[in-house]
Amino acid sequence: MHVRGSAIGGNPSSGELMRLYKLMRRRFGFLDWWPGETKEEVFIGAILTQQTTWKNVEKAIANLRKAKLLSVKGLSDADVSEISTHIRPSGYYRQKAMRLKGACSQIIKNYGSLENLFSLETPDLRETLLNIKGIGPETADSITLYAARKPTFVIDAYTKRIMARAFGTSETASYYELKELFESSLKRDARLYNDFHAQFVELGKNYCKTKPLCADCPVKGMCRYGKRNGA
């Protein structure tokens, strides 16, 4: 499915997307993201970060590490109540504890290890993750890109906001419409996708906020919103 153009409004070319990326990278440098020491930690963190901040996730991960539960096998074997206690800082901890245990148990049962799961080809891995309760498109793509290090583009709220302001893409564009826009425009490269998404996060946190700080924004020279509002 090719969705560039009128389907989402705006029509940034590959060159325009790369220009946006380079302007962000010039300001922020290369961002070695996602934070996490192991693939298992990234996998667990991607589920915990749903509906909360990374600061809260870090507290939950620290608790799991101290309890020696920061692994797919460890969470598969643990009781939901025990997991809940340790991940309480992440919010929605009972629901997330059930999701973590369920996901980890399913992986151990069907694949034996996270590494075996990650040996699947990208489309198969992504589909498998989406079939696990509690893992939606953004989480599946985050795991595929940041933990398995396979090329799939992650779309989040920052991406939607920045694309709408910079290029006029529709803020109601679907996850898959925006994902296809990036993947049809850029070379399939996990390192590029990783850093591009990380740049969006950094820009969104520091400049392209709900109430934008356009004056010192690194992409103001090519941003439709910024030009229209006299940045």
pLDDT band at 5 (very low <50, low <70, confident <90, very high): very low
Average pLDDT of span 49-75: 95
Task: Tell me the average pLDDT of the chain.
Answer: 93
Q: Where are the alpha helices (DSSP H) in 112-187?
A: 114-118, 122-130, 137-142, 157-167, 175-185
Q: Give the amino acid at 38.
A: T
pLDDT tens column, 167-193: 999 988 999 999 999 999 999 999 999
**What integer pLDDT is reported at residue 1 of this predicted model?**
38
* 217 dihedral zone (left: phi>0; alpha: psi -120 to 50; beta): beta
**What integer pLDDT is reported at residue 139 of this predicted model?**
96
Average pLDDT of span 128-144: 96
pLDDT tens column, 151-165: 999 999 999 999 999
User: How many percent of the chain have pLDDT more than 70?
Assistant: 96
DSSP state of 88: G
pLDDT band at 76 (very low <50, low <70, confident <90, very high): very high
Domains contained in the chain, CATH given: 14-32+157-228 (1.10.1670.10), 39-147 (1.10.340.30)
Average pLDDT of span 191-216: 96
**Radius of gyration from C-alpha coordinates of the chain:** 19
Distance CA 165, CA 172 (A): 13
**What integer pLDDT is reported at residue 11 of this predicted model?**
79
**What integer pLDDT is reported at residue 7 of this predicted model?**
53
Does pTM top 0.85 for this prediction? yes
